[in-house]
Amino acid sequence: MTGLEVAFLLLAVTGGLAGLLVVTSRNVVHAALWLVVALASVAGIYLLLAAPFVAFVQVIIYVGAIVVLLLFGIMLTRAPVGRRVLDNSPRARVGAFVVGAGVFVMLTVFLAGAFADERISIQAATATAALGTSLFRNYVLPFEAVSVLLLAALVGAIVLARRD
Amino acid sequence: MPLLYPLTFAAFLFSVGVYGVLARRNAVMVLMSIELMLNAVNVNLVAFNAYLRDQLVSGQIFALFVIAVAAAEVGIGLAIVLLIFRNRETVNIDEVDLLRW
């Protein structure tokens, strides 16, 4: 087992545990802070998979912007604390657990059947220049579509949230 | 590194997100679980990009697109949650049944 795999397993265990705590925590603010841990471990996994630019974008946008936005949402909706106000009934939770575990088992079995012997040989990290060249040469149309989407979301959020 | 490592991690994160979406009744918590699921998809995209060694780095670019769409989604989602809270004094998604009848 190489050092890369050890580092990956450590990050994956951290991220997985933090993800579990996000969906089981009794306190909304704690859940948001565990979400930070989960997203940061995913950023570390991007680094290990030779994608540094995506990792930094993950830290800036997810940890820096989205979690702060979620914390503002928690603050403005008078966050309640406790299992009964945050979660559905125990029966619904058992159903949710069955569905989640079923999805996990199904995905793992299918993926293990399809990619059991494949290996990633990590090369040099993707240069940001290569990413930018590809983005603005081959994917410029989706890029523009995303910018229009962000503008629409901005206008929509202002229209929805303002008082009149 | 075996390709199965990141794929299994992504599958686990996605299933945790599925559980969270179904088990939580607070709308902000549901949005957090959706973020977990989107992250699982991104891990898959970046892992397959490294596996296939794509010349166009398509996997990483689509991961960036997914991140941008996630930012838009959470902005709109929180605006809707705030609007519901202002009108109904609750953010429990099982009590918001305007469209049911």
- What chain B holds in terms of domains, given with CATH numbers, is 4-88 (1.10.287.3510)
pLDDT at residue number B101? 62
Whether the CB of B91 is below 8 Å from some CB of chain A: the reply is yes
User: Chain B closest CA to A12's CA: distance in Å?
Assistant: 6
Q: In whole angstroms, how far apart are CA B23 and each of A24, B7, B10, B75?
A: 9, 24, 20, 22
Contact B46 A54 (CB under 8 A): yes
- Supply A81's token pair: 């604390």
pLDDT, tens only, A105-122: 999 999 999 988 888 888
pLDDT at residue number A124? 80
Q: Is the pLDDT of residue B100 over 90?
A: no
Domain limits, chain A: 3-126, 127-164
User: Chain A closest CA to B73's CA: distance in Å?
Assistant: 8
pLDDT, tens only, B58-67: 999 999 999 9
Using H for helix, E for strand and C for coil, what is the string for chain B? CECHHHHHHHHHHHHHHHHHHHHECEHHHHHHHHHHHHHHHHHHHHHHHHHHCCCCCHHHHHHHHHHHHHHHHHHHHHHHHHHHHHHHCCCECCCCCCCCC
Contact B15 A104 (CB under 8 A): yes
Contact B13 A154 (CB under 8 A): no
Nearest neighbour of A149 by CB, restricted to B6, B56, B72 = B72
Helix (H) or strand (E) holding A47: helix A28-48
Whether the CB of B41 is below 8 Å from some CB of chain A: the reply is no
Question: Could you count the other beta carbons within 10 Å of the beta carbon of residue B65?
Answer: 19
Taking each helix axis as running N to C, give the angle between helix A140-161 and helix B58-88, from 0 to 180 degrees, rounded to the nearest 10: 10
- Supply B21's token pair: 């979406």
Count Cβ–Cβ pairs < 8 Å, chain A vs chain B.
250
pLDDT, tens only, A38-68: 999 999 999 999 899 999 999 999 988 999 9
Interface-testing mutation among B14, B26, B30, with chain A (most A C-beta atoms within 10 A): B26
Q: Is the pLDDT of residue A78 over 80?
A: no
User: Chain B closest CA to A28's CA: distance in Å?
Assistant: 7
Mean per-residue pLDDT for A128-134?
A: 91
Residues 6+ apart with CB under 8 A from A92: B22, B23
- In the block, residue with structure tokens 């995303």: A146
Chain B residue numbers touching A31 (CB-CB < 8 A): 29, 32
> CA-CA distance, A151 to A94, in Å (whole number)?
40
In this prediction, residue B56 has a pLDDT band, given cuts at 50, 70 and 90, of confident
A3-126 CATH fold = Four Helix Bundle (Hemerythrin (Met), subunit A) (1.20.120)
Average confidence score pLDDT of chain A: 90
Q: Is B73 left (phi over 0), alpha (psi -120 to 50) or beta?
A: alpha
